Structure 1
């Protein structure tokens, strides 16, 4: 029995190692490519060892975003736009979801469950389905090429509302009743009781929504037409151009590595809260 268990563990670890290698190898090649010059990559003889142009490539992409064949937006501007967009989307979605779930769980009002199921139905209507009316509204409000235009239409999250509803259902209502006896109002109960108890779920959802906002492509592509409003994902696509021979692959790969770095850092910093929030949430 012990030998069988050991053999099964080795097989499971082997499968995991192969899966990690398949996922990590392209990232490793992007990192290696960002340390070589464009000529080495263009010849199709990219080695598996780092080159000597790392500092040059990263500084050029960060400060200028232009090379011999590519003229783009500096990475520092694109990353700032992406960071603002991701943070605003994550914070906005969490705020709206908490308020909606708090109202559905702890308040009694007419058509309460009707509105809840109405929110639930929006899970079946992604942004791609309502892209034309959303764009029309944003354009009529004059929000094109603005942070508000990038974030407001994607700030409502039915997923967040469902998650916080499940979390709030596990909180004893006696806590709120005791707080009300002591004179606490609805917002005081939310701030002093509900939010501290739901902190792990808030942190977990923040990580998920931050990555979601950082990776947005379709909506920024439609809303932004000015270079100074490009996000990092849009900037990488524009740098690729239409011809592989007219590309500074070293700058593209340096930009790609920097684009991956921010979500990775956020996940690492919130890893403990992410796991705790996902595990402790009762389905």
Structure 2
């Protein structure tokens, strides 16, 4: 029986409203700034309500870009970020799920040693191995390309570890039943393991999509052509304009538009994401 405590309910809702306000206020201010003209912002006062230049500012940044910094239109940068984030997420999950399947269900020499070698790569993030990785990508001629943006970020020891731990919880009786029904390794993988891994795949996809979307250092190194700029790179270019002040309403408009795809992914896959994090029995 749930006790009715009006005072406790009031304070719980108050704390929730205050927390949401702290999170939502910067987003609201960014949206307000994105609808103002430059002269209103350089006056030193940030308005609290949207201005009259919403359509003008957003249409300009969507289709024309920001000319002072050389940033391309935001539609192009969002496309580049989407390609990078989706390729990184799908690539990491694909390679990790196959490697975890091989490590758990196939017997071959040095199986555990190979797994721990993969796991040890967690101690070597992109920033540590960035120079040799850049040299390899440059020698392969993959600078200023989607392949150069995504391939070096695809391998993931974390996802391999998570899938391995999940596969080890599947009872041996299920494997024996599949074998008695005549299921080979590929059929067992496609018909049994992949459906059981659905929530894990969804949870990892959300995390890895945001990881790929927020990448800055690696795209900054391998990209010199403006047609391959990502959203994060575009925002940085707009804020670091030499001999000029940033055009803040364009910067904020880019930031607001750049938030939309990750929010859509999180909201769309919210239920599967939560299940993938908390579900213990499949």
- Aligned partners of 2:234 and 2:169: how far apart in 1? 44
What is the aligned partner in structure 1 of residue 47 from structure 2?
Answer: 47
- Contact kept, 8 Å, 1:167 with 1:281, in 2: the verdict is no
- Aligned partners of 1:51 and 1:167: how far apart in 2? 52
Note the alpha carbon deviations across 1:92-139, whole angstroms, 9 max, x for none: 000011011111211222111111111111111111110111111111
- Aligned partners of 1:202 and 1:224: how far apart in 2? 30
Q: What runs of 5+ residues in structure 1 fail to find an aligned partner?
A: none
- Aligned partners of 1:146 and 1:59: how far apart in 2? 27
What is the aligned partner in structure 2 of residue 159 from structure 1?
Answer: 158
Q: What is the 5 A alignment of 1:267-278? A: 267-278=266-277
- Aligned partners of 2:90 and 2:276: how far apart in 1? 16
Q: What is the 5 A alignment of 1:45-84? A: 45-66=45-66, 69-84=68-83
- Contact kept, 8 Å, 1:105 with 1:169, in 2: the verdict is yes
- Contact kept, 8 Å, 1:166 with 1:281, in 2: the verdict is no
- Aligned partners of 1:40 and 1:245: how far apart in 2? 17
The normalised TM-score by structure 1 is 0.92
What is the aligned partner in structure 2 of residue 31 from structure 1?
Answer: 31
- Contact kept, 8 Å, 1:70 with 1:246, in 2: the verdict is no
Change in Cα spacing, 1:115 to 1:13, as seen in structure 2 (3 Å) is farther
What is the aligned partner in structure 1 of residue 222 from structure 2?
Answer: 223
* SS of structure 1 residue aligned to 2:45: coil
- Aligned partners of 1:124 and 1:179: how far apart in 2? 38
Q: What runs of 5+ residues in structure 2 fail to find an aligned partner?
A: none
- Aligned partners of 2:37 and 2:61: how far apart in 1? 13
Q: What is the 5 A alignment of 1:238-253? A: 238-242=237-241, 246-253=245-252
Change in Cα spacing, 1:88 to 1:46, as seen in structure 2 (3 Å) is same
- Contact kept, 8 Å, 2:69 with 2:241, in 1: the verdict is no
Distance apart, 1:55 and its partner CA: 1.2
The normalised TM-score by structure 2 is 0.92
Change in Cα spacing, 1:44 to 1:70, as seen in structure 2 (3 Å) is farther
Distance apart, 1:201 and its partner CA: 0.6
- Contact kept, 8 Å, 1:86 with 1:211, in 2: the verdict is yes
1:116 correspondence with 2:115: yes
Distance apart, 1:36 and its partner CA: 1.1
User: What is the aligned length?
Assistant: 279
Distance apart, 1:38 and its partner CA: 1.5
- Contact kept, 8 Å, 2:66 with 2:238, in 1: the verdict is no
Change in Cα spacing, 1:49 to 1:243, as seen in structure 2 (3 Å) is farther
- Aligned partners of 1:156 and 1:247: how far apart in 2? 37
1:191 correspondence with 2:190: yes
The root-mean-square deviation of aligned C-alpha atoms, in Å, is 2.0
